[in-house]
Structure 1
Amino acid sequence: MKHGLIQAVETCLAFARDLTERHPKRITAVVAALLVGGTGATFAVANLAPDAADLPVRTVVESIPLQLVLPETTLSALPATPLYRSELTRSTDTADSLLKRLGVFDPAAAAFLRTNSQVQQVLLGRAGRNVTVEVDGQQSLLSLTARWSPMDDGTFKRLSIRKQGTDFTAQLETLPLVASTRLGGGVIQTSLFAATDDARLPDAIAVQLAEIFSGDIDFHRALRKGDRFSVVYETLEGDGEPLRSGRVLSAEFVNAGKAHQAMWFREPTAAEASKGGYYTLDGDSLRRAFLASPMEFSRVSSGFKMRFHPILQKWRAHLGVDYAAATGTPVRTVGDGVVDFAGVQNGFGNVVMVKHRNNQTTVYAHLSRIAVKKGQAVSQGQNIGAVGSTGWATGPHLHFEFRVNGVHHDPLTIARQSESIPVTASAKPLFDKAAAQVRAQLSAAAQVSLASAE
């Protein structure tokens, strides 16, 4: 009996081997069907088919016709999608040139722009307006919107031109600007403006940076390759479009390895309610008795360097500082004082001398014009004249001197040593809380600066 059972099993196995060799796919399919079918049995599954690598490979190529069913709709019947384009206006713009640059080909729209009084007054020939147009598939004008912020009063103007049937309408509105906060940073390679251009920061922010740290850094003379900066600033927007730069809220500038930090803070007391200023993160005011430079930092003046004196054939730095700049560049007094002399002197040409306290005097020479008179009181940053080439000068530049008891001193050293006013004791807790937030912001902005350097 036992022997017969063994023989029967061996016969079944032989049959299975034969069936597997002849129909491996069918065997696999049957086993899979049993597993999926839920027969209630338990299986120990093994691969009954031979190794796929050992099977012969046969490629079958069969052509299958494709039938592409298109909807019974032509492209011309599809709804047109409006297109939008934006440009900044130019002072030379006419109705036709502006529309052409915006890709609008619409004689009726051009005629409306030429004849509408509001368009003539506020758009055509006015540079710097942000203009967006909406056109249809035939490049005809559907709408035109112009936005600009003419004054620093927290508002912007919006001119809206809309197509109504076959005619156009125009509406001029005054709306509030919305402030948003942005981070930026960069590394000096050649100049501050080149670095801010690379970082896509507005010129107004670069100028503010130079003004904020003007008591510590002479941006005309003291910048070094590898200096870096981080800045947190406001952008003022109209309808989500950036229209003007706001205030720098906080900044860090590393010059010659030394870090200078600043934050904007307004005293909460009634007496200081309308004032605000920049402070170090320790609470010391950055407004000092003297500025480091008698010229406001600008894109025009930033590219000039101190030059060899062409007449005296020697460097003039030991007698003061020479700032080469274009004729007409504004000159400002570096500190409060009284005009001691305003006129012409041999060598200096047109010159202004301002007397400050503690026997300190500043000299501004080779001016093309003088804007003050002897005996006039002047305040820090006030315009007193313009760069020129009068006196012993063969090219336009400003000769600046800082004298203490008649002895010449380095203006930057004097500016750094001048006193500053700290935050009041009552405002210090609020200031410290704000400074902690500023440190976190500057840390984030510093990452932007490092990323731009890589």
Structure 2
Amino acid sequence: MKQALISTGLAVADLVHRHPKRIAAAIGALLMGGAGGAFAVASLAPAAPTAPLHLVSEAVESTALGRQAEALDAHSFTLYRSDMVRATDTPEALLKRLGLSDPAAAAFLRKNETARQALFGKSAAGRTVTAEATDRAQLQVLRTHWVEQETDDTFQRLVVEKAGSGFSVRVESAPLVAHQRLASGTIRGTLFAATDEARLPDSVTQQLTEIFESNVDFHRGLRRGDRFTVVYETLEADGEPLRAGKVLSAEVVNRGKTHQAIWFKEAGASKGAYYSFDGQSLRKAYLLAPMEATRITSGFGMRSHPVYGYSREHTGVDYAAPTGTPVRTIGDGTVSFAGVQNGYGNVIQIKHRNGKDSTLYAHLSRIDVKVGDNVMQGETVGAVGSTGVSTGPHLHFEFRINDTPQDPTEVLAEQREYVPVSPGGKAAFAKLSAGMKMQLAAASEITRGSFE
């Protein structure tokens, strides 16, 4: 049998040796037909074997699987997970959401006063917590961040760390890092609905209204299709945004007119200010109104008095507002009177910097200043009330020039304080404004395209 197989093999080899091209073509056709077009061609014209074939077998050692399993078992890795503290959290609940099962860590967080206050105290809800854990769900490091005051430039960092068989805790202080963010939107209803849709922080929205309130009536003057764009700071702790900072640049398009602002602080100055892109200060001598939200119920001039019933001169403007609504001074100045004044009830009078202008705030429920105090534009000086001769809570506001009452709605619309960038600061201002213009223009185009 063995001899027959050898003879057959020699015959096949001889056939291939004498007709190699035909044999190759036949096999190629067979491969193409049987394998759907996939084929390979190899040389089929080997030399005839000159020596008998031998089967060689050799034992191969298998790799030690036990050692591999031990190595894998000894290998460890770190898991990372973040979540937000909830008002109803317990240590166990927080660790469970972080994917941890560590009774010792839960007991430490409950007993340690520093960790408990930072994670489960009254102001802890909403803080982001980041945990590092072993592959066996055991806590290694836990961190959270917060700021003590909204105006702080630093943040506090709580670090709970595995230390031997227990845990250690420390609180570190580090500077907040400022980054720039850009937001834009289109008015379809109210400003606040549009800023919410654009995910603009409330503090940034408030700054936006304060920057342009002397030029734009955000309560009654906005129209559908008006637009806003803002570049603002976001202050971060270890890459986590903790709060919004100041507005760096902004643009509001109201009724087809574009209003722009840029924050600029000159070298050596104690504080910065907002300027138009041509370098003129946006700060007007006076705000348009003594309250943020206003509704005029009685204008300046002759009227039928609501209490006395006869016509008499109304020397100011009445704004309707609930009792306790903050009242702010519309300009820098010095308090010249703070007390009760006949039918006006509780009154504050402020003499302004130019020496001839003064303002009066009447029917107040509360007075927060005293005679001689220096007050700054926008500072709260009292609260709306109904003291004196009054039919309900409101603010009576007067603007006087040389002690003669003027119509506030007309006078305030015309007042402006032009303070340009100094010659020494123009180069730095030009460089800053060029970059901000590009950002605002790009964002404005995107917003307009989305709206259209």
1:312 is matched with which residue?
306
What CA deviation, in whole Å up to 9, does each residue of 1:267-293 have, x standing for no partner?
Answer: 23x4x3x33111000110112211223
Moved more, 282-291 or 369-378: 369-378
SS at match of 2:426: helix
Code of the aligned partner of 1:265: F
1:317 and 1:237 map into 2 onto residues whose CA distance is: 52
Structure 1 residues 317, 28: CA separation in 2 closer, same or farther (over 3 Å shift)?
A: farther
1:143 and 1:395 map into 2 onto residues whose CA distance is: 59
Tell me the CA shift for residue 174 of structure 1.
1.2
User: What is the aligned counterpart of 1:408 among 386, 406, 423?
Assistant: 406
Tell me the CA shift for residue 378 of structure 1.
2.7
2:131 is matched with which residue?
133
Structure 1 residues 87, 172: CA separation in 2 closer, same or farther (over 3 Å shift)?
A: same
**Percent identity over paired residues:** 50
SS at match of 2:439: helix
SS at match of 2:324: coil
Code of the aligned partner of 2:213: S
1:239 and 1:97 map into 2 onto residues whose CA distance is: 25
What CA deviation, in whole Å up to 9, does each residue of 1:147-193 have, x standing for no partner?
Answer: 11224343221101123455222121112222111111112333333
Structure 1 residues 432, 104: CA separation in 2 closer, same or farther (over 3 Å shift)?
A: same
Runs of at least 5 residues in structure 1 that lack an aligned partner in the other structure: 1-24, 39-71
Tell me the CA shift for residue 207 of structure 1.
1.4
Matched ranges for 1:442-453 at <5 A: 442-450=440-448, 453=451
Matched ranges for 1:84-163 at <5 A: 84-88=81-85, 90=87, 95=91, 106-123=102-119, 124-127=121-124, 128-134=126-132, 141-151=139-149, 152-163=151-162
Moved more, 413-422 or 178-187: 413-422
Q: What's the Cα RMSD here?
A: 4.0
Code of the aligned partner of 1:292: L
What CA deviation, in whole Å up to 9, does each residue of 1:45-100 have, x standing for no partner?
Answer: xxxxxxxxxxxxxxxxxxxxxxxxxxx99xx989787351321565x766566557
Code of the aligned partner of 2:427: P
2:54 is matched with which residue?
none
Do the aligned residues in 2 keep the contact of 1:179 with 1:234 (CA within 8 Å)?
Answer: yes
Give the alignment's TM-score, normalised by structure 2: 0.71
Structure 1 residues 263, 391: CA separation in 2 closer, same or farther (over 3 Å shift)?
A: same
SS at match of 1:285: coil
1:98 and 1:399 map into 2 onto residues whose CA distance is: 53
Structure 1 residues 284, 33: CA separation in 2 closer, same or farther (over 3 Å shift)?
A: closer
What CA deviation, in whole Å up to 9, does each residue of 1:398-443 have, x standing for no partner?
Answer: 4433344533324475255322211112322332232222211111
1:436 is matched with which residue?
434
Instruction: Confirm or deny that 1:373 pairs with 2:370.
Output: yes
2:346 is matched with which residue?
350
User: What is the aligned counterpart of 2:331 among 332, 335, 340?
Assistant: 335
Give the alignment's TM-score, normalised by structure 1: 0.70
Tell me the CA shift for residue 396 of structure 1.
4.5
1:380 and 1:164 map into 2 onto residues whose CA distance is: 54
2:98 and 2:362 map into 1 onto residues whose CA distance is: 49
1:114 and 1:28 map into 2 onto residues whose CA distance is: 75
Instruction: Confirm or deny that 1:280 pairs with 2:280.
Output: no
2:422 is matched with which residue?
424
Structure 1 residues 184, 308: CA separation in 2 closer, same or farther (over 3 Å shift)?
A: same
1:104 and 1:34 map into 2 onto residues whose CA distance is: 56
What CA deviation, in whole Å up to 9, does each residue of 1:182-223 have, x standing for no partner?
Answer: 111112333333222111111111111122223323434444
Do the aligned residues in 2 keep the contact of 1:266 with 1:277 (CA within 8 Å)?
Answer: yes
Code of the aligned partner of 1:312: P
Code of the aligned partner of 2:405: V
Aligned pair count reads 381
Structure 1 residues 198, 397: CA separation in 2 closer, same or farther (over 3 Å shift)?
A: farther
Tell me the CA shift for residue 263 of structure 1.
0.5
Which is bigger in relative contact order (C-alpha 8 A, separation at least 6)?
A: 1
